[in-house]
Amino acid sequence: MSGRRLWALLPLAAALAALAAGCGNGSQAVYTAKGSVTCLTAKGFTHATTDPLKVGFIAGVAENGGIQAVAPGGNTLTIAFAQSADDAAATEKVFRSKASPFYKRHMADIMESQRNAVLVWTTAPSQVLLSTALGCLAP
């Protein structure tokens, strides 16, 4: 096969690799509490619940549910699963507006968003803990 033909096939190969890695159309599916809670439990989080009456008001009324769980070491995580990434930005604003003055000063350290999921911790998580939680987000 000539070098020119190989270069012509490169974009097709890259697209196929992206699809195989999960970077295709399905990768933008919204995350849900139901799809994510089992992974958190498997990764050592305890007291994991999706009960709207136990996850806090903001996460409890989120369109795709909410989770509250305790990470190894005792850091409590609350996740609100909004309807979309745009709605997640609005959810972040609500978390900020309802936070106590102490937490308002630390929101950059304790709140993280990925697509439609807004994660809020009691204290700033380690990078490993944050990566673990983000890795558990699922449709």
Residues 57 and 83 in one domain: yes
**Residue 13 is part of which domain span?**
1-28
Residues 43 and 91 in one domain: yes
Ordered DSSP codes for 63-132: TT-EEEEE-TTS-EEEEEE-SSHHHHHHHHHHHHHHS-HHHHHHHHHHEEEETTEEEEESSPPPHHHHHH
Question: In the structure encoding, which two tokens stand for residue 60, read together?
Answer: 């409890």
Residues 96 and 55 in one domain: yes
Structure confidence by residue, pLDDT tens digits, 80-138 = 999 999 999 999 999 999 999 999 999 999 999 999 999 999 999 999 999 999 999 99
For residue 46, the SS3 value is strand
Residues 49 and 22 in one domain: no
Nearest to 135 by CA among 125, 53, 54: 125
Residues 36 and 97 in one domain: yes
Domain count, the chain: 2
Q: For the full predicted model, state whether its pTM sits above 0.85.
A: no
Residues 61 and 75 in one domain: yes
Residues 23 and 53 in one domain: no
